[in-house]
A and B are shown apart, each in its own frame.
Chain A
Amino acid sequence: SQPLTGHQAAELQSKVVPSKQILHSDNMEMEPETMETKSVTDYFSKLHMGSLVYSCTSKRKNK
């Protein structure tokens, strides 16, 4: 193949070397979502005064 002339090389370089705009990979790193949480024990401790939970745990202990 023929050697490159200076002009050809310069032209090629300016053409194929991408600009800043083309390059950005836009890989933004987002923070995680926050979800609201509920728990079955929230209600039991308040409403059932632990009676049912107590029966469960005592049953477990007896096993």
Chain B
Amino acid sequence: RMEASCLELALEGERLCKAGDCRAGVSFFEAAVQVGTEDLRTLSAIYSQLGNAYFYLHEYAKALEYHHHDLTLARTIGDLLGEAKASGNLGNTLKVLGNFEEAIVCCQRHLDISRELNDKVGEARALYNLGNVYHSKGKNVANAGTHDPGELPDDVKNALQKAANYYEENLAIVTELGDRAAQGRAFGNLGNTHYLLGNFRSAVLAHEQRLLIAKEFGDRSAERRAYSNLGNAYIFLGEFETASEYYKRTLQLARQLKDRAVEAQACYSLGNTFTLLQDYEKAIDYHLKHLVIAQELQDKIGEGRACWSLGNAYTALGNHDQAIHFAERHLEISREVGDRSGELTARLNLSDLQMVLGLSYSTNNSMMSESHVVEKGLNGTRPRAGRRHSMENMELMKLTPEKVQNWN
């Protein structure tokens, strides 16, 4: 009677999670655990699904806990395939939590067991996961030093090169298996790894493959991702026109998919691209679109970034009234969000603008007189270096929290 009850609850949990309602699914799985079962394989399956549900809900500490229970259980009952799966899931969770070394151990275990069992599908999936861990590891270290793609310290380069190798190994197997969906994922992440390594031509080739497969499946989210990544790569190839075409397609799909945050990102990218093309009117047009959405989403970081960009574009056009308006707004927002270097950049922009307009500091408001204090305090870090640093710091902050992703 109790056994059936636990099973029934778990089955309902499975049904709800498959239907996309992980929150409700979790309640049923937890109820199933409460009731309990003597069948350890059933319990292992419940733990595993609880772990995955929490993973998709972005509750990674809970996900870690349940995948760990699953791993312990699988080992206890000598279920090798179950152990491989639990190790893979634990590895993915540890990666998200930034524990890369342990993540590598777990994903390697997934790979070793899959090879031992001659499980090609499992082997390919473990290789993809390993690629992801090394990619995240490389990106994480790189972010700490705010590098541009292609200008990386050796440890970052090594991690990214390993990621590329794992994706290549994965691709060889999934191509043999004829798994196009898996090929699409591998091409996408391989492309991003090449991008970080500064191999922009290779990045383009991989993302073109990703695009092809996305179209095959009618997967518009994947298609949009490919356009955006192609745009990024073409920026670094110096082919701004091509980049703008890809970003426009990104924007088109973002609108179709009704994803405002992605739409904002596409507008921002387009604004930057037209700045590079020195078409400042179009740049302003897109940065204003970005600004409107940032305000709508109450994304202060994005709003500050838009104001900074708009200030620059208006300055380039010689529209100093608007330039000052946005520089002042940038200063206000930087203060609000406590972005000290953004604040400094805004002050420097304002003082540049004031000088060009032939105004002395004394005729201006308190904002400008404060700028003397800041400049003195930083021992003449006035030049462009300060500005660059500021923007790069801002770039590290995500526009919006990461979206819940599908897990297939």
Contact = CB atoms under 8 A, between A and B. Distances in A.
Nearest to B312: A16
Given A8-B356, A20-B276, A35 B42 contact: no
A23 to B, nearest CB: 4
Could you say which interface size class chain A belongs to? 35 or more
A1 B268 contact: no
B366 interface: no
Interface in A8-41: 8-9, 12-13, 15-41
Nearest to A55: B4
B14 A40 contact: yes
B125 A28 contact: no
Contacts of A47: 41
Contacts of A55: 4
B408 A34 contact: yes
A52 B45 contact: no
A1 to B, nearest CB: 4
A28 B143 CA distance: 13
A42 B14 CA distance: 12
A9 B357 contact: no
A14 B52 CA distance: 51
A34 B185 contact: yes
Given A16-B352, A18-B391, A27 B89 contact: no
A56 B395 contact: no
Interface residues of B, number: 83
B121 to A, nearest CB: 10
A49 interface: no
A40 B408 contact: no
A2 interface: yes
B92 A31 contact: no
B192 A1 contact: no
Given A22-B388, A40-B46, A56-B4, A31 B225 contact: yes
Contacts of A35: 52, 55, 88-89, 92, 407
B269 A27 contact: yes
Given A4-B318, A4-B356, A22-B392, A40 B268 contact: no
B161 interface: no
Contacts, number: 166
Interface string B40-84: 011011101100100100000000000000100000000000101
A31 B184 contact: yes
Contacts of B39: 43
A39 to B, nearest CB: 6
A29 B225 contact: yes
B11 A40 contact: yes
B229 A41 contact: no
Given A1-B358, A33-B132, A56-B4, A26 B395 contact: yes
Nearest to A18: B312
A56 B7 contact: yes
A37 B49 contact: yes
Contacts of B110: 36
A32 B405 contact: yes
Contact of B312 (A17, A24, A25): A17
Contacts of A39: 14, 45, 49
B265 interface: yes
B188 interface: yes
Given A16-B352, A35-B92, A43-B41, A1 B357 contact: yes
Interface of B: 3-4, 7-8, 10-11, 14, 39, 41-42, 44-46, 48-49, 52, 55, 70, 82, 84-86, 88-89, 92, 110, 122, 125, 128-129, 132, 135, 148-149, 182, 184-186, 188-189, 192, 195-196, 222, 224-226, 228-229, 232, 235-236, 238, 265, 268-269, 272, 275-276, 311-312, 315-316, 318, 320, 349, 352-353, 356-359, 384, 387-388, 391-392, 395, 399, 405-408
